[in-house]
Structure 1
């Protein structure tokens, strides 16, 4: 963004009047008799509504002078900018960085097919290949859940909110739902199925932190509303009364 203070002055003297009206190039007016440049906002173009942005936290830093960075923190997008930025500059750079991060995540984001292949490998490695879902898909309709499993249908849905989280968190969510195909409850037998996953406690702690940061109500397992049963199918597939368990 240009420094608007550079364009604060312009000539109004006799030489400038003799030079005629300033020429306009790309929204900037220049005069042959004036060494300064005046930014002229377009008057005829109606203002278009700004596109809605996702939940973004903007952090200003006095030590940051020339760089802008963006990163995910507990599933939330953080944009770090210099403290001297104006609100106009802030909005512009937030838009740029959101687009950049989303484009990068889209390239890395696994498809439903890749998700199914990842789940098959996790089942083979940690569950002896016994968990065999009929389908695994991403879902933006999971509400507060990280994932859900309709046991009678053998279908698993993973919340799109997990996209962008570390791979070992996604693997835990997948394993959790895969284990429900073998054990619907959350007793010792269920957790024994997940006991071989080396990042179990770390992943559960990560999700608990995200739930706390986003004001999700904790459940008995402390990971947000971790698991429930008998809520029907949030995607509208299968029988309305199909028993379902979900990771929230």
Structure 2
């Protein structure tokens, strides 16, 4: 659908950054399938929620496998279609720039880059895993490592998450190649990652929002 041209009517909602706001919305009023970019996998479910507190703003954000769009209670159906399509496109475009590696090959390459960047300066060498793969049977941990075989596995639940969160879990598992326990030395290796605290908070927040397990330091693996 073509976007409107010309000057925006001040009485109409303004478009905000998709990550700007996550207020408590009113009950779900509609849902549908969004349009995912070519090659980006199945289209996400789009959930539209109307809020009486909203007067002019429209916000969209990712919630697990769905994209939630918050709109004013009094918005017309015609305007809803226009703004929802626009905001879903913004979320998908942002994710395409920051999304985690999709395939095992890309994931393994990213692991090598992180090992060289963050662990090699501390250890004098870059630990190399024997394999790095996405798995679908890991629902209680974000990642796991078998030091004896060098295999690293990440839960498929992380695929929609930002790349900096996935990088943190990858680095966590890479550190286990040289330090099996969560010792002080282990955390010194991991905490050189600049986004470590932020990523831990993201995973804990995801757990709280979705009611799943697998967040926190001890559950990364």
Task: Give TM-score scaled by structure 1 length.
Answer: 0.55
Contact 2:56–2:72 under 8 Å retained in 1: yes
Greater helix fraction, Structure 1 or Structure 2: 2
Residue 104 of structure 1 deviates from its aligned partner by: 7.6
Query: How has the CA–CA distance of structure 1 residues 174 and 70 changed in structure 2, closer, same or farther, with 3 Å as cutoff?
Result: same
Say whether residues 1:77 and 2:67 are aligned partners. Answer: yes
Residue of structure 1 in register with 2:162 after alignment: 166
**In 2: Cα distance, 1:140 partner to 1:100 partner:** 28
**In 2: Cα distance, 1:115 partner to 1:193 partner:** 20
SS of equivalent residue, structure 1 residue 171: helix
**In 2: Cα distance, 1:139 partner to 1:159 partner:** 5
Residue 216 of structure 1 deviates from its aligned partner by: 3.2
Contact 1:64–1:82 under 8 Å retained in 2: yes
Contact 1:145–1:225 under 8 Å retained in 2: no
Residue 187 of structure 1 deviates from its aligned partner by: 1.4
Residue of structure 1 in register with 2:7 after alignment: none
Say whether residues 1:60 and 2:50 are aligned partners. Answer: yes
- Once the two structures are superposed, the pairs formed by residues 54-133 of structure 1 within 5 Å of their partners are 58-61=48-51, 62-64=54-56, 70-72=60-62, 77-84=67-74, 105=95, 110=101, 111-128=103-120, 129-133=125-129
Residue of structure 1 in register with 2:150 after alignment: 154
**In 2: Cα distance, 1:196 partner to 1:217 partner:** 26
List runs of 5+ in structure 1 lacking aligned partners.
Answer: 2-49, 228-246
**In 2: Cα distance, 1:158 partner to 1:74 partner:** 16
SS of equivalent residue, structure 2 residue 207: helix
**In 2: Cα distance, 1:131 partner to 1:197 partner:** 16
Residue 109 of structure 1 deviates from its aligned partner by: 5.0
What is the RMSD of the two structures over their aligned residues, measured on CA atoms? 3.8
Residue 119 of structure 1 deviates from its aligned partner by: 0.9
Specify the structure having the higher radius of gyration (Cα): 1
- How many aligned positions are there? 175
Task: Give TM-score scaled by structure 2 length.
Answer: 0.60
Contact 2:100–2:161 under 8 Å retained in 1: no
**In 1: Cα distance, 2:49 partner to 2:174 partner:** 39
**In 1: Cα distance, 2:65 partner to 2:193 partner:** 22
**In 1: Cα distance, 2:47 partner to 2:140 partner:** 21
